Structure 1
Amino acid sequence: MRPQSILLVDDEPGIVTMLETILRKEGYTSIHSAFTGREALDKISLTPYDLIVLDVMLPDTDGFQLCQQIRQHTAVPILFLTARSSDLDKLTGLGIGGDDYITKPFNPLEVAARIHVQFRRQLQYQPAIQEAEQYRYGTVVIDKKAAQLRVNGNEVPCPAKEFELLLFLAAHPNQVFTAGQLYEQIWGFDSLGDEKTVAIHIMRLRKKIEQDAKQPSLIVNLRGIGYKLVPPPKQGAAQ
């Protein structure tokens, strides 16, 4: 089994060196770096990384735009690491495909912990998708074995955290979960979680699976309580 491969994208060599030192102490041996967006894209097109840590303010591009370009190549977790700390920036980062958002200044041990969680969730998730199981909700098919989302017979790109969240909800139809419970299940944190991260991922999923994302009928929000996935009338989740 090849070691988990991490790409650090940041134009500050000191931050890259610090993170690389901490991650190597934590047991990660395949750590790569890129200091510009162009360099990052070149490396991603050639190398199958398992996780990407991405700065937003790069010398040649905006990290948000770069994230969208990366998503054309891979669905692996992307952790934003940036000095841009406003709520709008965080919502933007999560809304365009990021899986987590950490602001500078940061504790490098926290970054390592969040990377640990991402990989741990992947290891927990991989055995499940080896089973030949599908969940069907009307025209929506969630294929666990292929880790694939299909809507109306067409495959719909779905980054790792979105798919994991959808799969969890599909496995528990009509069961209500608070945003905090979903964050803990999918991201692996309790005290570090927040409702905005869950809400953004739910919004992105609705755009992919709902006939009308503004009036959702599959992923339903019970105001003040939480979310649940509701099977269409006379249909349920098939395994």
Structure 2
Amino acid sequence: MHNNRILLVEDDTSISDMVRDYLELEGFVVTPVFDGEQGVAVFSKNTFDLVILDLMLPKLSGIEIMEIMRHKSLIPILIMSAKDSDVDKAVGLGLGADDYISKPFSMIELTARVKALIRRAAHYTKADGQENIIHVHDLSMDLNNFCVYKHGQDVKLTSKEFDIMKLFITNKNRVFTKAQIYNLIWGDDYYGEENVINVHMRRLREKIEDNPSTPMYIKTIWGIGYKLGEF
């Protein structure tokens, strides 16, 4: 029993009850809330390991909640929503969500994604006592403490953005296709999830590049994929 704490923000009580009951059987401690304002209030006063967030909520939308949470925390956020267009995925993931699951979903798949996100976050917050910092030009990446610095200033990355940057920075000179990136970072088969990759690359470049339209750190290799820039 791991007793990781999950904040569940879902206004449909039948879905909320189903998710809570299943995850509690898996050993999670689930706190359900039913509107956006309540979600922000409970999040501000308590400590959680993961947030499961619906997009369509009363009082405050899931997108508004995510913006508020991201100002305060890098906690893993899993969006679940019936709105399954590429635009909604791009908006949600672009604002800092770590994963997205569409309704209707299987509880087995949801649980697998929850466990993967918590496991990844725990891996990054667990320092092994040895300094593990990689420097590339003006960037420094602390692999133990899940931190990236540019010119000594902290760069706020989501766990997925950190994963992508770590992939490139620890595999210098290697070119990765979008399918390889999706498989390695999301741990899933690639079915043309190009928009998800594009959104994450754009957001990551906006945070680390001097000029995102002419990137130095993550180069596009046209027709193939991406690689770390050479300095």
2:208 counterpart letter in structure 1: I
Once the two structures are TM-superposed, the CA of residue 130 in structure 1 deviates from its matched residue by: 4.9
**Partner of 1:208 in structure 2?**
207
Q: Secondary structure at the match of 1:88?
A: helix
**Partner of 1:13 in structure 2?**
13
Q: Is the 8 A contact 2:7 2:32 kept in 1?
A: yes
**Partner of 1:237 in structure 2?**
none
Deviation per CA, 1:178-229, whole angstroms, max 9, x where unpaired?
Answer: 2222222222222578232222111111011111101112101212312111
The normalised TM-score by structure 1 is 0.88
CA distance in 2 between counterparts of 1:192 and 1:128 reads 35
CA distance in 2 between counterparts of 1:155 and 1:191 reads 32
Rate the CA distance shift 1:129–1:195 in 2: closer, same or farther, 3 A. Answer: farther
CA distance in 1 between counterparts of 2:41 and 2:66 reads 14
Give the number of aligned pairs.
231
Rate the CA distance shift 1:192–1:117 in 2: closer, same or farther, 3 A. Answer: farther
Q: What are the residue-to-residue correspondences of 1:110-121 with 2, within 5 Å?
A: 110-121=109-120
2:10 counterpart letter in structure 1: D
CA distance in 2 between counterparts of 1:12 and 1:83 reads 12
Deviation per CA, 1:5-30, whole angstroms, max 9, x where unpaired?
Answer: 111101111111100122123232x1
Q: Secondary structure at the match of 1:71?
A: helix
Confirm whether residue 76 of structure 1 aligns to residue 71 of structure 2: no
Q: Percent identity?
A: 35
CA distance in 1 between counterparts of 2:4 and 2:191 reads 24
Q: Is the 8 A contact 1:121 1:188 kept in 2?
A: no
**Partner of 2:157 in structure 1?**
158
Unaligned runs of 5+ in 1: 233-239
Q: What are the residue-to-residue correspondences of 1:190-229 with 2, within 5 Å?
A: 190=189, 194-229=193-228
**Partner of 1:32 in structure 2?**
31
Rate the CA distance shift 1:11–1:130 in 2: closer, same or farther, 3 A. Answer: farther
Q: Is the 8 A contact 2:124 2:145 kept in 1?
A: no
Q: Secondary structure at the match of 1:172?
A: coil
Q: Is the 8 A contact 2:177 2:225 kept in 1?
A: yes
The normalised TM-score by structure 2 is 0.91
**Partner of 1:4 in structure 2?**
4
**Partner of 1:89 in structure 2?**
88
Q: Is the 8 A contact 2:2 2:27 kept in 1?
A: no
Once the two structures are TM-superposed, the CA of residue 95 in structure 1 deviates from its matched residue by: 0.8
> Bigger shift: 190-199 or 93-102?
190-199
**Partner of 1:43 in structure 2?**
42
Once the two structures are TM-superposed, the CA of residue 2 in structure 1 deviates from its matched residue by: 6.7
2:114 counterpart letter in structure 1: I
**Partner of 1:170 in structure 2?**
169
> Bigger shift: 160-169 or 10-19?
160-169
Q: Is the 8 A contact 2:76 2:118 kept in 1?
A: no
Once the two structures are TM-superposed, the CA of residue 132 in structure 1 deviates from its matched residue by: 0.6
Q: What are the residue-to-residue correspondences of 1:122-133 with 2, within 5 Å?
A: 122-125=121-124, 130-133=129-132
CA distance in 2 between counterparts of 1:143 and 1:70 reads 23
Q: Is the 8 A contact 1:44 1:73 kept in 2?
A: no
